Structure 1
Amino acid sequence: MAQTSPSAGAAHTAPAPLPDRPAAASRGALVLVLTGAFMAVLDTFIVLVAAPAIQADLHASDADVQLVLAGYQLTYALALITGARLGDRHGRKRLFQVGMALFTVASVGCALAPGAGALIAARLVQGLAAAAMFPQVFAMLQVLVPAERRARAFGALGAVIGIAGAVGQVLGGVLVSADLFGSTWRPVFWVNVPVGVLTVALAARYVPETRAPQARRLDLPGAGVLTVALGLLVVPLVEGRAAGWPLWTWGSLAASVLAFVAFALVERRVEASGGAPLVRLRLFRERPFAVGITLVLLTYAGINSFFLVFSLTLQDGLGQDALGAGLYYTPFAVVFFAASLLAGRLARFGRRVLQAGALLVLLGFGTTVALAAGAGAGLTAGRLVASLVLVGAGNGLLVTPLLSAVLAGVRPEETGLASGVLSTGQQIGGAVGVAVIGVLFYDALGPAAHQDAAAYGQALAWSLAANAALAALVSLLLPFLPDPASRRG
């Protein structure tokens, strides 16, 4: 599930102790900030189940559907670190309210979108709003919750993030199937509006304001160059197949390499001048972190793309309505949640828990590939449930402790910066995974008709074979990650 680890986010935005530290936050204040985290994660997943209905209603292309999903994550990823620094400088409560208000307005824009282009634009704004809001949640929990209650607060945040992913898929199915006032998919965005308005209003009264006393200046040049680099990479991946891979797509991909090099040069110059770069490049010279960020990118590329192709197969290929598709994710969500809790209890076994999770994910993807490829026209949703449970169990063991394991190999003074980079890597990995695996799925599907189970099964098999390759690569790289159990020992 596309989410930000509580431990990582806390480390990223954790400020220095404040001389005028406010009194401990009330439970009402904590509920309000956790609502912000819930909404940001919910809107990653609620749209997955609604994607087929959006495509049919707006006559959207396959590339449009991918951009509706990946665009949110891209702008979310690009602005996460900047959002955290803005909160430190101008007030975390203020940025939380601004982010939630903008998120609510963007949700209205999504719900009223007359076409695919307008919906994509509104989703991009939604991602920026989530990036303004979400980092403040971590920082406010760190600052406002007394030390003796902080672990419980971040545990609650982890539970909220996990539940949001599961609820998003089921709620999306319920709302689309209800077809309220003939609006099909639009209620998946309208549902944000009353929650957003109420949260902004109550936060004004119940959430105290905090700032960091020595917040650093924003790295606007770095953010700008990174935005260009990611745009040059993702847009041709999403649009290229439908356009027939014209010359501009290959030129854009080549230019993205140069743009990433330019980003590295800009960051080096910012750091040399005494500024606060978006990313400190020396982190990548340390093998544990370089391996760790690679693991994060691969893992989240596999998770988010899996949800996309699986949802399309269930609804367009196997004839499930949105509610049925959402309910099919329930076993995944239950097992994921249980495995996440188990991973915490098994922390003493360190990296072996992660390796077990990666192998289960690989087994789940491999089983799905075999079932989908071999069933032909006899493929049914029920036959995929067992492998879906394997994927859920594996991700619960792998995803939840992964960021903590990566950070175990980072020097304490660089934990905040490293966790911010990893949190951004989660969203970028998810967006690129949706783009690349989505291309494989649609290429394999070709011009197949809806409810052509055999064609959708073959497309699912081809795309999940790539997901299985990602899981295998994760399994091979894990031994190069420092073992957190050994470090504790």
Structure 2
Amino acid sequence: MASPFPAQVMDLTERQKSLAYLTLMVALVLEIVDVTIVNTALPVIEQDFGAAAAQAQWVAAGYSLAFALLLMLGGRLGDAFGYNRLFIGGVAGFTFASMLCGLSRSPEQLIAARVLQGGAGAMMAPQVMALIQVLFQPLERVAKLAWVGVIGGLSAICGPIIGGVLIHANPFGLGWRSVFLINVPVGVLAVIVAWKLLPSARSSLTRGIDGGGTMLFAASMAAMLYPLVRGHDLGWQPWHLALLFAAPIMLALVWRRTERRAKVGAATLYAPELFHQRQFALGLAIALAFGAATGGFLFVFAFGAQKLLGFSPLETGLLHIPFSAGVMLGIAFLGRKLVTSHGKWVLVGGITLMALFAGGTLAWIETDVSLWWALPCLALAGTGMGMTSGPLTPVVLARVDRSHAGTASGLIKTVQELGMALGIAIVGTAFFAGAPTGEVGAVLPAIAAIEGLMLICLVLALGLPAPLFPEHDA
């Protein structure tokens, strides 16, 4: 960055900087909430449109996939063209896509709008951290970034609750459309404030963009996800299997291309030397598998509670409260505080808790036993999620050189979002495909898929080095 504090920042009053920061937080909430808010609305959307199960999956997965694939590109475009410009353009695009979601007249239109929404979110999200660095002095950033973590965590776990409340309240008779259209006035206000207050700044380093690598990576993910979601509905045609076979080959080509371009100093999709650090590579694999397991669990839980047990969207949203409380307990009081003293065993414990009680929660849907069985299961599953997700990012970044901190953080976020999309595809497919003819879904195959992903997480976590942090090496 040419100057860490441009003249435009020095001219801002404390009140104006606070308003600019609040605008960034509003955008952060919009982006994160829209990942999970749709889970509560999906059964209503499916009923309204008469959509197929695979289309319901794509409404959820399309957003996460587009966001993940374009996130690194969004960060690099911000470096090149200015963080404020990309932020304003991203919020405007996100707002427009939200309007298209709310006005959709078919499942296909809604899926396309969700993909556009995810792409716009990927342009907007990376600029939040960059603009906080521009707006505030180093010591000021500590509290601001702490609030980013708290607000981001609350947004993710409150999404289903907000969705249930909105559908129940049914403002202006909009039904499920309100979960998207509520973004429009908020987004318009955010664009106006951002236009007036956000400083103009960009990176002084010319890193370039690997457009070919980005497209090849996107194609490999599409080749993997499309057959997983649509294969069952379309009868598993030979070309579905061909796409699944081609996906890892294309990923290998992405790897080779990136290694080759890095050696000659060309722009790359990511920094390949990061993967030479064992703890980073293992942590990223945990983030992918854990994101898939939790994304699949939240999808099946919200869908199954309504379709199999007959809960309303509001009741389903309220059911997420003990889970949300457990997540906050795991993040704030257990995970981050214990990881420095107990290392990888905090992750092992969190993964084990999540595996046991996420399965227990879905077993409640299958057996329809007393609600008093589900509530403690939800709270303990949430605690396990918080104990794992809270310390996971610091663990992944612990031995990463500071010169790669930005790229490494972007990779973690990208992998987590890809995990969400993969989880909805894999676990959702097990849920729908395992159902007998005429049934909505089958919980036991979904539990098996989730537990398989959790087992992978557990094995990877056990493989982490005993001292996770360099300060403990002695």
TM-score, normalising length: structure 1: 0.90
Tell me if 1:408 matches 2:398.
Answer: yes
Find the partner of 1:344 among 331, 336, 339.
Answer: 336
Equivalent of 2:352 in 353, 359, 366 = 359
Question: Paired residue for 1:487?
Answer: 470
Match of 2:433 in 1: 443
1:309 paired residue among 297, 300, 303: 300
Q: Superposed, which structure 2 residues align to 1:124-273 within 5 Å?
A: 124-273=115-264
Q: Which residue of 2 aligns with 1:477?
A: 460
Q: Closer, same or farther in 2 for the Cα pair 1:129/1:47, shift >3 Å?
A: same
Q: 1:407 to 1:483 in 2, by over 3 A?
A: farther
After superposition, give the CA deviation of every residue in 1:182-225 in whole Å (9 maximum; x if it has no partner): 43210000000000000000111122222111131111111111
1:123 aligned residue (83, 99, 114): 114
Deviates more, 1:329-338 or 1:471-480: 471-480
SS for the counterpart of 2:434 is: helix
Q: CA deviation at 1:53?
A: 0.5
Q: Residue deviations 1:352-408, cap 9 Å, x none?
A: 3222211211221343355455x3xx4455532221111100011100110110111
Measure the CA separation in 2 of the matches of 1:482 and 1:196: 44
Match of 2:451 among 456, 462, 468: 468
> Do the aligned partners of residues 19 and 213 (structure 1) sit closer, same or farther apart at CA in structure 2, a change above 3 Å counting?
farther
The change in CA–CA distance for 1:486 and 1:194 in structure 2 (over 3 A counts) is closer
Counterpart of 1:49 (choices 40, 47, 50) is 40
Q: CA deviation at 1:20?
A: 4.1
Letter in 2 for 1:201: I
Aligned to 1:420: 410
SS at the partner of 1:75?
helix
Q: Within 2, Cα distance between the matches of 1:140 and 1:396?
A: 27
CA–CA separation in structure 1 for the residues paired with 2:178 and 2:365: 32
Q: Is the 8 A contact 1:365 1:465 kept in 2?
A: no
2:351 maps to amino acid: A
| Residue segments in structure 1 that go unaligned for 5+ positions in a row | 1-14, 451-455
Q: Are the equivalent residues in 2 in contact too, given 1:96–1:134 (CA < 8 A)? A: yes
Q: In the aligned structure 1, how far is the partner of 2:444 from the partner of 2:369?
A: 12
Residue number among 54, 70, 73 corresponding to 1:63 in the alignment: 54
TM-score, structure 2 length as denominator? 0.93
Give the distance between the partners of 1:301 and 1:16, measured in 2 at CA. Answer: 39
Deviates more, 1:267-276 or 1:43-52: 267-276
Contact 1:66 1:438 (8 Å CA) reproduced: yes
| C-alpha distance after superposition, 1:124-150 (max 9, x if no partner) | 100010000000001111232211121
1:294 corresponds to: 285
Aligned-pair identity (%): 34
Q: Deviations over 1:278-298 (max 9, x none)?
A: 123333343222211111110
For residues 468 and 263 of structure 2, what CA distance do their matches in structure 1 show?
Answer: 36
CA distance in 1, matches of 2:392, 2:405: 14
Which has the larger displacement, 254-263 or 176-185? 176-185
Confirm or deny: 8 A CA contact 1:180 1:187 kept in the other structure: yes
Task: Please point out which of 13, 18, 27 is paired with 2:4.
Answer: 18
Provide the aligned C-alpha RMSD in A.
Answer: 1.9
Structure 2 vs 1, CA of residues 484 and 153 (structure 1 numbering), >3 Å: closer, same or farther?
farther
- Supply the AA of the counterpart residue of 2:337: R
Correspondent of 1:328 among 297, 319, 327: 319
1:277 aligns to what SS in structure 2? Answer: coil
The one-letter code of the counterpart of 1:284 is F
Measure the CA separation in 2 of the matches of 1:116 and 1:419: 34
Number of residue-to-residue matches in the alignment: 465
> Deviation at 1:344?
2.7
The higher-RCO structure (CA 8 Å, 6+ apart) is 1
Distance in 1 between the 2:5 and 2:133 partners? 15
Q: Does 1:95 align with 2:78?
A: no
Say whether the 8 Å CA contact 1:72–1:124 is kept in structure 2: yes
Residue-by-residue CA offset, 1:252-274 (whole Å, 9 max, x unaligned): 11121222122123223322332
Question: Partner amino acid for 1:392?
Answer: G
- Specify the code of the residue in structure 1 equivalent to 2:422: V
Give the counterpart letter for 1:97 in structure 2: I
